[in-house]
Amino acid sequence: MSENKSQAEVLKEQLYLDYKHLAKKMEDDEIKLADQFCEGYKKFLDNAKTEREAVRTVVKMATEKGFIPFEPKTNYQPGTKVFYVNREKAVILAVIGKLPVSEGVHMCAAHIDSPRLDLKPNPLYEDAEFAMFKTHYYGGIKKYQWTAIPLSLHGRIVKKDGGIVDVSIGEDDNDPVFCVTDLLPHLAAEQMKRPLAEAIKGEELNILIGSRPFKDDKGSELVKLNILKMLNDKYGIIEADFLSAELELVPAFKARDLGFDRSLIGAYGHDDRVCAYPAMMAALDCGVPDYTAVTVLTDKEEIGSDGNTGLNSAYLKYFISDLADAQSARLYEVLTKSECLSADVNAGFDPNYPDVSERRNCAYLNKGVVVTKYTGARGKSGTSDASAEYMGRVRRMFDDAGVDWQIGELGKVDAGGGGTVAMYIANMNVDVVDVGVPVLSMHAPFEVVAKLDVYMAYKAFMAFFKSDN
């Protein structure tokens, strides 16, 4: 048909940057593969709503694929698959490569914590014959989105004697759920005048957990007493046990296909399971790579990566140090030659809110995995900003492997900003760039991604692990 094209059209094809919808480019067979891949992803989302559950799920899946617990002083043969768990809230998968680690390792880093409502240390109280929990939200949320939706309770209680109680209530269809109530519009005249950021205040995010009193005419707070008695009967806990607990409320609904064409997935926690799952699957499926392949699935990204299970902690460095020691290599040498794809989401263009995006430099759903050269705010503050050389390297690698990718900034220059784990990895003198899946309604209880992009993330991480340079 090219004979029908004008000279300008031919030139444009040669010279212009043009991203096409993946469904127009991909073969039907590969689209089918992508949809199948997402069936596994949806199951993962439902089984791994918190960082602890994600670690458990990843270890189970990795063990089934032959991964073994990492032993620090062992010099593993190429192809050996190991995992290391940090405090049950972060996990590293590694596949030992053919090359010595002194040549560097290839890392994918994603996070498995998501915005949510955490219980306060002393959460339980009674008011107007309702039993309630006080919460302190975790990560950047728009508080009004967390009212009047069903919530499930997940986490761990450690009793005084060290006994452990793991809790998951609200996921099974027969389980009860919980919620934050909201004001009826009829009586919300004053509330509706509040600016959106204050529409629901932090101290109003209280969870309704019960309403029937303990049957006794004497005494006060009998609804609270009744709830505590039920918890004591079921878990053997007393009120003081909340002091040593991590309990998290997350949306109780499951991941669902979205749209008549089922091209999208709506779910809680796409940020960042939509990168964690493909990064894990790439580790499981990469065979015997040239470079040692390391997938780190970390905690605490949503609150700034601090804490010993976040990537600002030394645990990843210690792990690589152990790999280096086992081969008599120097840690700094390994790190300096290492490369990383910081696997995190970016905002997709949303036709409902076009004003926050700069259309020439934002990511679009269904146009492939998004490479984000830098994040940050107020003039690239708080980011690592990948070099032209590393961008060139990633560009070549993806193009050669048939990975469809696009460039994306996080919104307009002055619209706000954000960060990822990339800078903590870059601070170890590792080349790193953000690569992930574009998301709509990021940090909302129900986020949206496109299936073809999810599959393209898997293909991207796989290309990285299989790369021979």
Residue 353 sits at φ, ψ, to 5 deg, of: -135, 60
Strands 369-372 and 405-407, by their bridges, are parallel
Q: How far is the CB of 231 from Mn ion (least distance, A)?
A: 32
Two structure tokens written together for 143: 């508080």
Q: How far is the CB of 271 from Mn ion (least distance, A)?
A: 4
Q: Measured between alpha carbons, how far is 374 from 359 in angstroms, rounded to an integer?
A: 17
292 vs 342, beta carbon nearer Mn ion: 342
Q: Measured between alpha carbons, how far is 459 from 279 in angstroms, rounded to an integer?
A: 9
Q: How far is the CB of 56 from Mn ion (least distance, A)?
A: 21
Contacts of 130 (CB under 8 A, 6+ apart): 208, 210, 211, 223
The CB-nearest residue to Mn ion is: 272
100 vs 139, beta carbon nearer Mn ion: 139
224 vs 300, beta carbon nearer Mn ion: 300
Q: Measured between alpha carbons, how far is 164 from 170 in angstroms, rounded to an integer?
A: 20
Could you give the residue ranges of the DSSP H alpha helices within 186-311? 222-235, 270-285
Two structure tokens written together for 300: 């605490």
245 vs 343, beta carbon nearer Mn ion: 343
Amino acid residing at 261: D
Q: How far is the CB of 373 from Mn ion (least distance, A)?
A: 16
Q: In the complex, which residues of this chain contact Mn ion (CB under 5 A)?
A: 271-272, 344
272 vs 404, beta carbon nearer Mn ion: 272
Q: How far is the CB of 443 from Mn ion (least distance, A)?
A: 6
Look at residue 289 and give its three-state secondary structure: coil
Q: How far is the CB of 452 from Mn ion (least distance, A)?
A: 20
Two structure tokens written together for 123: 């959460």
113 vs 241, beta carbon nearer Mn ion: 113
Q: How far is the CB of 78 from Mn ion (least distance, A)?
A: 32
Q: How far is the CB of 345 from Mn ion (least distance, A)?
A: 5
> Which helix (H) or strand (E) is 108 found in, with range?
strand 106-111
306 vs 399, beta carbon nearer Mn ion: 306
Q: Residues 25, 34: contact at Cβ < 8 Å?
A: no
Q: How far is the CB of 437 from Mn ion (least distance, A)?
A: 10
Residue ranges with strand state E in 299-426: 339-342, 346-347, 369-372, 376-377, 405-407, 417-418
Q: Measured between alpha carbons, how far is 276 from 296 in angstroms, rounded to an integer?
A: 9
Look at residue 439 and give its three-state secondary structure: strand
227 vs 410, beta carbon nearer Mn ion: 410
Q: Residues 371, 435: contact at Cβ < 8 Å?
A: yes
Q: Measured between alpha carbons, how far is 158 from 143 in angstroms, rounded to an integer?
A: 29
Contacts of 159 (CB under 8 A, 6+ apart): 165, 236, 237, 241, 244
Q: How far is the CB of 344 from Mn ion (least distance, A)?
A: 4
Q: Measured between alpha carbons, how far is 89 from 48 in angstroms, rounded to an integer?
A: 12
171 vs 271, beta carbon nearer Mn ion: 271
58 vs 323, beta carbon nearer Mn ion: 58
Q: Residues 6, 219: contact at Cβ < 8 Å?
A: no
